[in-house]
Amino acid sequence: MWRLLILSALSGLILADQAGDFVGRVFGDVDPRLAANSLKIISLEKKLTSLKGKLHDAEKVDPDGFLNEIDARVSELEGTHCAKREFQCGGNEQECVSDILVCDGHNDCHNGHDEDSTVCSTAPVKAGNVFSGTSHWKDCLVRHDHVTRITITQSSRRKFYQARIWVRALVESDLTSHGKTTTSSFQAKGYYNFAHRRLVLVPLGDHDSHLSVVCNFDHGDSERASCHRVLEATLYPCADLFVTLSQHN
Amino acid sequence: MKTLILLLAFVAVAMATECDNLTRLKVKAQWRRAYSSGHNREDFAQAIWRAIFAQAPEARSLFKRVGGDDTTSPEFEAHALRVLAGFDITISTLDQPEALKAELDHLEKQHEGRHIPDNYFEAFKTALLHVLPAQLGRCWDKAAWSACFDYIATGIKGH
């Protein structure tokens, strides 16, 4: 350790000396120590620029988000120990409440987790959000893998009943057949369920031939969701689709 | 022009859902799914009443005797379940006109003299029409429910 310090101090001195000579030659009468300082500042600026680059790289690896994702995935595998359509309050007091009471403005869990701001985040279904990903069909329709885009066009939350967000969306699929790309799209309506972080979209009125979309935001954030195209009545899954939120800028 | 208006009126009549026999069967089946049982039934009732009081806070005063100040009080939970039980009888008998008539008359008698304004019934309807799809998730017919609820509410109001 000490050796390293001495070595760096020495090299600093040598660098300063050399710089002093160089600057002295260029600037003539300027105090060589001042000139050496200015060069040091220049090298500091360079280091700052490279630090900026490193900060940008650091943004890409988010340990907190990574932990959230692992946590969400493990919880998914463990199960909630609650019945279907129930919400697990979590924490030290394991408790189940009906999902129609989650995020309705009244505490129903003893620890208040059903009104927690992270649970009740409306970020996944903000109007204008565009989610896209590749659909992989397993059944129901014969289609090559293709891109599907889900655009949230409208979202409303009733003041007197806040446990659901009612959503309108446009679902588009880029289909390629015989070398030509066509876009098949339909309007859908549905809701977002806070308790299960689930978005359900059912084709509107005359778009009955299309299949419903069910998305679970099960990756620990509001940007990624595992979706399925399902038959509305039976919920039979026909296609798998993993979507990510398109960047706004 | 007149024929056009007349035609449009006919179309509107044809499109509006009535609480007819098939609609009643549909409502009945969907209610069976939503009404559920046990703890979930209590929560279903709780959600409906919270939504009613959120729309018409003044309506709480009518329910003082049954703990209406706190919808989670045991007294009010009992009341909420009682109300749903009455509603369950009406829905279950939608396809048996005589039994339905008897239940509606019974409920009318229980409500008369309480001076319940029509907008409280509307608040009940709106609450039900939002909690039901939340409870059912999918496969539910709003128009059918609207029509049959109106039919039942008219029976209870008596006008």
Mutate to test the interface with A, among B36, B40, B44 (most CBs of A within 10 A): B40
Q: Say whether A247 sits in a helix, a strand or coil.
A: coil
Residues of B within 8 A of A106 (CB-CB) are 50, 72
Report the gap between the CA of B105 and the closest CA in chain A (Å).
Answer: 31
Helices B21-35 + B118-136 axis angle, to 10? 70
Contacts A–B by Cβ distance under 8 A: 57
At residue B37 the predicted structure's pLDDT band, cuts being 50, 70 and 90, is confident
Query: Residue B16: pLDDT above 70?
Result: no
- Tens of pLDDT along chain A (249 residues)? 455 454 455 455 555 555 555 555 555 677 889 999 999 999 999 999 999 999 999 988 888 888 999 998 998 898 888 888 899 998 787 889 999 999 999 999 999 999 999 999 999 999 999 999 999 999 998 888 999 999 999 999 999 999 999 999 999 999 888 888 899 899 999 999 999 999 999 998 766 678 999 999 999 899 999 999 999 889 999 999 999 999 876
Question: DSSP 3-state assignment of A174?
Answer: strand
CATH class of A82-120: few secondary structures
Give the percent of chain B with pLDDT over 70.
Answer: 90
Residue B37's alpha-carbon distances to B31, B40, B78, in angstroms, are: 12, 6, 14
Q: Is B71 a residue whose pLDDT tops 50?
A: yes
Contacts of B15 (CB under 8 A, 6+ apart): none
The pTM is what?
0.81
pLDDT value for A37:
93
Grouping H, G, I as helix, E, B as strand and the rest as coil, residue B138 is: coil
- DSSP strand pairing (A237-245 vs A96-98): unpaired
Residue B119 has pLDDT above 50, yes or no: yes
For residue B45, give the nearest of B83, B92, B91, B93 by alpha carbon: B83
* pLDDT given at position A81: 87
Query: Which residue in B39, B44, B54 is closest to A160 by CB distance?
Result: B54
Phi and psi at residue A146, in whole multiples of 5°?
-145, 165
Of the partner residues A97, A160, A202, the one whose CB lies closest to the CB of residue B55: A160
Domains of chain B: 20-157 (1.10.490.10)
Of B72, B130, B139, which is closest to A158 when you measure between CB atoms?
B130
Question: Is the pLDDT reported for residue B7 higher than 60?
Answer: no
| Residue B139 pLDDT class (50, 70, 90 cuts) | confident
Q: A191 in the Ramachandran plot: left (φ > 0), alpha (ψ -120 to 50) or beta?
A: beta
pLDDT attached to residue B129: 95
Residues of chain A positioned with their CB less than 8 A from the CB of B138: 200, 202, 212, 232
pLDDT per residue as tens digits for the range B53-66 = 999 999 999 999 99
Output the CA torsion B123→B127→B130→B133 (10° steps).
-130
Q: What does the pLDDT read at residue B13?
A: 47
Question: What is residue A61's predicted lDDT score, i.e. its pLDDT?
Answer: 86
pLDDT tens, position by position, B91-113:
999 999 999 999 999 999 999 88
d(CA B106, CA B118): 19
Q: Which of B46, B133, B137 sits opposite A101 (nearest CB)?
A: B46
Tell me, what's the pLDDT at A62?
85
For the domain made up of A121-246, the CATH class stated in words is: mainly beta
The per-residue pLDDT for B9 is 52
CB B43 to CB A97 under 8 A? yes
Residue B83 has pLDDT above 50, yes or no: yes
pLDDT of B10 over the 90 cut: no
User: Residue A9 has which token pair?
Assistant: 């101090």
Q: What are the sequence ranges of the domains in chain A?
A: 82-120, 121-246
User: Whose CA is closest to A169, among A146, A136, A192?
Assistant: A192
Most B CBs within 10 Å, among A99, A114, A161, to test the B interface: A161
Q: Do β-strands A96-98 and A86-88 pair in parallel, antiparallel, or remain unpaired?
A: antiparallel
Is the CB of A159 inside 8 Å of chain B's CB atoms?
Answer: yes
As a whole number, mean pLDDT of residues B128-139 equals 92
| pLDDT at res. A180 | 87
A207 CB within 8 Å of a chain B CB: no
